[in-house]
Each structure stands twice: as structure tokens, then as C-alpha cells.
Amino acid sequence: MEVEDAPLRRDGDLPPPIYGSRNTEAGVPRLRVYRDSSRTLLRWTDSEFEITPNRIKLRLEGSERIAAWEVRLLGPVLGVYLEQQMHMRALHGSVVALPAGAVAFVGQSHSGKSSLATACVARGASLVTDDLLVLHRAGTGFAVAPAFKAIRMWPEIADRFVGRHEDFPRFHPSADKRVVPVGTGLFGEVAHQEVPLQCIYRLAPRDSESGEGATIRPLAPSLSAVELVFNSFSPRLVASLGLQAERLESFAELIEKIPVQNVDYDPPIAACVEEVVDTIFADVDKMAPAEPILPVRQS
């Protein structure tokens, strides 16, 4: 990655934008995306990132916005780079490694992805990734690449599993979540290599308390595809780059090989996280182990 002081591309040198965010600032989309034959430029009102096959360049206005820069780099920018240049699928989700394979949690914001990953790590699972879930084909199946060695925990989850949440930094000045390192001796272990994917759980908190406890049901293939697209990084942005067909093809293949299950539970997740983990672990125990990551044999 390279840091530049001057604008990465002058306005007169840019083609028309292929994407503009719905959020605006002074009538201008907060994010505009430009693309030519060799480069993709993501331009926010206070920063910009240029993606090429071998590197990411950035320009930032104002050191006080470092937190926003970090969130963008480790979110949509890295997601676009992985999708566009590496042909990997980038989703919002958390993943832990169990003896039989990797278990992924996806779902809308505040559905409990990071909280479940925390509880699983406390029970002996290894953290593979939190927030940025990177999937790719591996042999005859799919694998998850290990990413950041930390979990973004809500204060009450951090208080329960690792101590005082005040001892850990916020992941963004405006957010309550705290960044808690994993695998450093303080809390849990991390996976050090890619892990074959065994199952994806879509978290679905109920609208109100039902008294039914945590339950699991399979998602139909059509709904599984919708959920994977919904929980991917920047689906409209990826579509504007012409990558949607490739992404959907990968998701269709994934659904044929990997079960996608719906986990229903009574909110809030902090009140029932151990029960949800028990339910998921019991479900995983009934599955066949994930296939090892082996190369496809050539005929």
C-alpha cells in the first residue's frame, strides 16, 4: 500500500463515475467510483483509494480522520480488491474453526455475529476472522482465509468474556464496540492457515420473545443465495464493477456444497449467547466434517 499527498487522479483525467453512493454531502455522493482499463478509484469526500492489480494507493485529508480511513480500507476497499483482483468473495461475517471445519456466522447488523464468535472462542474454538469473511474455492470445496486477529465486541460481551471493556480501544470514535486482540495470551486462539468451510449460519433474532429458545432450520437454496448477496460487502458497488455474475456463480456453487442454516433466537443475543452456541455446536456435531483442502485431480 502507498500513501500519497496529492490527488490520485485529477477530475479532468477521470471518466464519468460508474457508481455514486446514496448518502450525500452538500449534494455530492459521499462515495464515487471511477474505473478505466487498469485502475479503480474509490473517492470519498475526504479520502480516496486507487486499486490496481498489485497495490492500493490512498490519499487522506486530515489525520483526525484516521479512524474513518481504517474502516474504509478494511471494509469496502479491501472487499473490492479481493473481489476484483483476487476473485474471492468478501462477506460481512465472523468465522471460527472447530475440529470438523470452519463455521461462519452472517446476518444483519446487531444480529450477534461477533458475540457468537466470542462465545465460541471462549469454549475452545479458534478465531478465523471477524467482520471481513473471505471465501474462495479450494479443491472441491470452499475455504475461509484467516484475517485480523481481533474481535469487535460490544461492551457487555467484552465485560463478560475478557474483563473491563474500558481497557480496549473503540474500533471507531463514534462506535461502542471495542477491539479485543485474540491469540496474544489474553483471550483465546487464532487459526494460522485457511480452514475448510463446513457450514454457514444466518442469524435471525426474532421480533419479540417467544420462549422457544434457539432453533435451527435449513434455508432453501433461493433464500440462501439472497442472504449471501445481502450479507456481502457493498453489493451495489460490486455490481457496478461488473462482478455480480461472477459472485452469483460462486454463491450458487457454494450453496450446492455447503449447508446454509437459519438460527432463530429470542433477542438480545447477550442474554442467550451460550444457549445459541450450545444449539450450533449440537448441530455441527451431526454434520459430516468439511472436506480437507486438497487440489482437484487433473484427468
Cell of 159: 465485560
Give the pLDDT of residue 241.
93
Lowest mean pLDDT segment, chosen from 2-11, 88-97, 216-225, 244-253: 2-11
Tell me the C-alpha to C-alpha distance, in Å, between residue 223 and each of 132, 208, 229, 284.
22, 23, 10, 21
Do residues 119 and 273 lie in contact, with contact meaning Cβ atoms separated by under 8 Å?
yes
> What average pLDDT does the chain have?
90
Secondary-structure class of domain 89-285 per CATH: alpha beta
In DSSP notation, 246-284 reads HHHHHHHHHHHHS-EEEEEEPSPHHHHHHHHHHHHHHHH
| Grid cell at residue 188 | 483465546
The pLDDT tens digits for 202-256 are 999 999 889 999 999 999 999 999 999 999 988 888 899 999 999 999 999 999 9
Single-letter amino acid code for the residue at 265:
Y
Can you tell me the distance from the alpha carbon of 166 to that of 169, in angstroms, rounded to the nearest whole number? 7
* Residue 116, all three cell numbers: 457468537
The pLDDT assigned to 286 comes to 93
Residues forming CATH 3.40.50 domain(s) in the chain: 89-285
What gap in Å lies between CA 260 and CA 263, rounded to an integer?
10
124-157 pLDDT, tens digit per residue, is 999 999 999 999 999 889 999 999 899 999 999 9
